[in-house]
A and B are shown apart, each in its own frame.
Chain A
Amino acid sequence: MLVITEELIQDVKQLIVERLKLEEIATEDIDTDAALFGEGLGLDSIDALELVIGLEKEYGVSIPDAEVGKKVFQSVRTIAQYIVDNQGKAIAAADGAP
């Protein structure tokens, strides 16, 4: 059973910055527990879809619908938790992750 490591937290932040092309934001500017949507980083549903694709590509985990998406995309930590909880189901796909 995997646990959330500091490395995974950093990787999730990196994924957000790269996938959303946030040129003015560094990973250290992102608070692990702060809201990603609305307030906080101010992401929207167009960004959410980018993150869905990013998570599929990098970790082989999928977000099946908006309800799951809402829970997963609360913060960097909730995304990391979702990866840990679901990656085992698609470990082969995750082998290619950086």
Chain B
Amino acid sequence: MAHHNGGKVALCFPGQLNKVPDEIGKRSGGGDSLPHPFFEKAWERAGFDLASFFFQREEEDQYLNLKLQVASYLLSMVSFERYQKRGKQWDVITEHSMGIYAALVAVEAMSFEDGLAMVKGVGLILEEGERENPGGMVAIIGLESEAIKKLCSDVGGGLSVANVNGSRQFVLSGEIISIERGLELALQRGAISAQRLAMSVPLHSPLMKSIKGAVQTFISDIALHPPRTPVVSHWSGKPLNDPDEIRDFLIEELCRPVDWEGCVQYLLDQGVTCFVEMGPTGTLTKLIRWIDRDVKALSYGVHDAV
């Protein structure tokens, strides 16, 4: 048990980065002088060079979201490794959206290598799905739940809530035309911010059902083990206990909204008093600050690794 003022510690794995972090992509590539063994493995096994942010294979390098997903995975894993090496403890692991893959490696439900293969494999399915199912996501800050529901029904065309990140922080998914209309309406209705995310598919929405079969087939080949420490689902906050449950979650979560607010609330009720984010941006830390101003939330970062 990792006690913080008598409470539990939760590690949080964030979803896909929305842009390339400032430290990344400014060096020359080719797999030389990679400053971390994880980055070397990414080059050897996935043909991805983090320092220069590129894939060896041209047909993969064209996919921005695929690159952002692999980069997010690597940076979270580096952050987690630093945390572990310093002998720091935790009680429970939670994740947001695509953060599930790194979270599953952290609880030893799969190996780092399989996690990398999964991120890349699912990422490619998403990119290929984009051709049949183009869409996007928009983050809306400032409007409350009722206003968001009304916005979705006014726009129509399958626009739906993809993330409940807080009482006034939402992400919507839908076809491109509904995303654009939703963004415009949100600003007209007093949102403090409405921004398109990099994602080019309507992730966490029923529109993703068409790729379920491909994901199911792909992940059936990846070895999963029972988690060594609790890892909780990002829509219920409840633990994912065994490989079958994890596999079902990995398929279902692509079509279902992330309830980050509910997940954090559930963990607070379970006695978590400290949240530590594993990644470079601190977005989840800021969302937790909104959900509960008094709870300790910090971003562990990746500082000396990149």
Q: What mask results when residues 167 to 179 of chain B are scored 1 for a CB within 8 Å of chain A, else 0?
A: 0110000000000
Q: Is the CB–CB distance between B168 and A45 below 8 Å?
A: no
Interface size class of A (residues with CB under 8 A): 10 to 19
B84 within 8 A of A: no
| Chain B positions within 8 Å of A44 at CB level | 283, 286
Q: What mask results when residues 1 to 31 of chain A are scored 1 for a CB within 8 Å of chain B, else 0?
A: 0000000000000000000110000000000
| Chain B binder among A62-70, A74-82, A89-97 | A62-70
B194 within 8 A of A: yes
Q: Is the CB–CB distance between A49 and B289 below 8 Å?
A: no
A-B pairs, top 4 by smallest CB distance, nearest first, are A45-B193, A46-B286, A45-B141, A65-B190
A84 within 8 A of B: no
* Docked complex Cα distance between A48 and B290 (Å): 12
Q: A48-B141, A49-B142 are in contact. Are A63 and B192 (CB under 8 A)?
A: yes
Point out the residue from A47, A52, A67 that lies within 8 Å of B286, measured CB to CB: A47
* Docked complex Cα distance between A80 and B141 (Å): 23
B107 within 8 A of A: no
Q: Is the CB–CB distance between A69 and B192 below 8 Å?
A: yes
B111 within 8 A of A: no
Q: Is the CB–CB distance between B142 and A46 below 8 Å?
A: no
* Docked complex Cα distance between A36 and B169 (Å): 20
| Chain B positions within 8 Å of A21 at CB level | 289, 293
